[in-house]
A and B are shown apart, each in its own frame.
Chain A
Amino acid sequence: MTGVSLGRFQDAFARALRAPAGAETCASELARLVAQPGFAVYRNTVMKGCIDALQANYPAVSRLVGEEWFRAAAAVFARMHLPRNPTLAVYGEDFPHFLAEFAPAAELTYLPGVARLDRFWTEAHTAADEAAVEAAAVARLAPDALARAVLRPHASARWAWFEAQPIATIWRRNRYPGDEDEAELAWCGEGVLLVRPRGRVENVALDAAGCAFLDACAAGGTLGDAASAALAADGQADLARLMAQLLEAGAFGRLELPDHSTEER
């Protein structure tokens, strides 16, 4: 190793760390280091740090598949995707996508969706602080101003509609296992909104119209556009009830009025 530059040492060390234990028969310039028992301490610490972080960030997935299965899958993921960001509380952005492609999980078709909601929780939990738009601010608007106003989703708001499976209920039961919910699972589509208007992340059941409404708001559409999108998703949608539900949940962070002035809440 004598005379090797720092960068070349780091290239070789990083490669050796990533190789699975037992694969160090290669004629690596670090062979003398990798052969020492102490090398495993580094390899184990790196893997444990990544796997622990994934387990902390995907608790509903972990509870569904069991700790042993989860940690094995997390090890495969971590070897492919080391953290890009040392804030491990947000590690694993690609984990839902990984699970969707992970052959051993092929039969667990609900797993990527559940993982996506665990990820939504992390994003909602760490999003920028923002006061939610209050219902009263919207109620003050005249009908024509209302249709042309824009409601921007809250910085922490994450939502999704799952067409064929009750992903939100499966997620909720595994994310908050202490909560009593004995009802039999209805195998049909579901949507959910996660948002943190105050201190904690709340989750609110949302129908297809509600998700389409928020999609339109996020795209910068007016409330008129959002209402059309909601009705396109569900012709029977009750728009007044939907607006009230979203405002009550704190789903919006900014109200922009048609004359371009902005009202904070």
Chain B
Amino acid sequence: MLIVPSAGLGLKPEYFEDALAAPADGLWFEVHPENYMVAGGPRLGWLEAIRARHPLSLHGVALSLAADAPPDAAHLERLAALVGRFEPALVSEHLAWSTWQGAYRPDLLPFPRTSAALARIAENVERAQEALGRRIALENPSHYLAIDGHEWDEIDFLETLARRTGCALLLDVNNVYVSARNLGLSADAYVDAFPGALVAEIHLAGHTADPALGADLLVDSHDAPVDPAVWALYARLIARIGPRPTLIERDGNLPAFEVLMAERARAAAVLRAPLLRAA
């Protein structure tokens, strides 16, 4: 089942009942596969029921592709099993690391973008795509630190990875906004320079200001509605590259399902805009 360039929702267990009952018109769902890497039980049953009605996207957080080590073989095997069982329309991961020396840190950690790192990550992406038997998409992370020692611009780094490995890219527009604000860069320039042809999926989410530092440090918290500035960046991107499958992510301060469906409808309207213009 392919995802047409329509809008989807991140699916938390709290929304399973609503998600099952939601009308199917172009709606798709995305989950973190790590939450379903269990031997059995109701979790997998819920996901089966959702998958029977809607396309699914698996968005991994723990392959740790930017670690200076191959992806954990057991984890990759579990991911491959889920891909085989649920036949997701999209599979994605992050340009980040989380597992290192056998310990997992529930976050997406940064690294200096060197040529050596590029070679290692390309090898890891290839290894993952081989194990999964399919192309994956890599997401641009949120940044909170000015790191010395970057040899590569992030967009060049991602584009080169995609060319070398054949992977696609996932553009998280909220991450662009948060990173640009935190590092003093231009979000417009980033979105304008991003290679549109490689974008397989777009993410939209809310962020919050750091409780101590305020608007000087934005945190990609996924616990608020999508910010107006992020909506504007998104419209700018779609006007340039055309529609792409777009996900509304929400992980905290969970509102009523209808509130998320309304955000999804707003993204769907943006996706229709270039088509309407062309007609």
Contact = CB atoms under 8 A, between A and B. Distances in A.
Contacts of A37: 210, 212-213, 216-217
Interface residues of B, number: 50
| From B34, B45, B103, B104, residue with most partner A Cβ within 10 Å | B104
A151 B121 CA distance: 50
A86 B98 contact: yes
A33 B145 contact: yes
Contacts of B103: 14, 82-84
A10 B112 contact: no
Contacts of B279: none
Nearest to A3: B149
A32 B69 CA distance: 25
Contacts of A17: 105
Contact of B68 (A1, A2, A10, A38): A10
Contacts of A65: none
Interface string B197-223: 000000000000010110011010000
B107 A6 contact: no
Interface in A24-47: 32-33, 36-39, 41-42, 45-46
A78 B38 CA distance: 22
A200 B112 CA distance: 47
Contacts of B114: 6
Contacts, number: 133
B262 to A, nearest CB: 27
Given A41-B219, A82-B104, A84-B103, A33 B40 contact: no
Interface string B92-118: 000001111111111101111010110
B23 interface: no
Contacts of B98: 86
Contact of A9 (B61, B112, B217): B112
B106 to A, nearest CB: 3
How extensive is the interface on chain A, given as a class? 35 or more
A76 to B, nearest CB: 16
Interface of A: 1-7, 9-11, 13-14, 17, 32-33, 36-39, 41-42, 45-46, 49-50, 53, 82-90, 125-130, 155-156, 196, 199-200
27 contacts: A1-B112, A1-B147, A5-B116, A9-B68, A10-B97, A10-B111, A32-B148, A33-B147, A36-B144, A36-B146, A38-B145, A39-B145, A41-B210, A41-B219, A45-B107, A83-B106, A84-B102, A84-B103, A86-B34, A86-B61, A86-B62, A88-B34, A88-B106, A90-B38, A127-B40, A155-B39, A196-B41
Q: 4 shortest A-B CB distances, which residue pairs?
A: A49-B106, A38-B144, A86-B62, A7-B68
Interface of B: 34-35, 37-43, 45, 61-62, 66-69, 75, 97-107, 109-112, 114, 116-117, 120, 143-149, 182, 210, 212-213, 216-217, 219
Given A14-B103, A127-B41, 9 more contacts: A2-B112, A6-B120, A36-B145, A87-B35, A125-B41, A126-B38, A126-B41, A127-B40, A199-B42
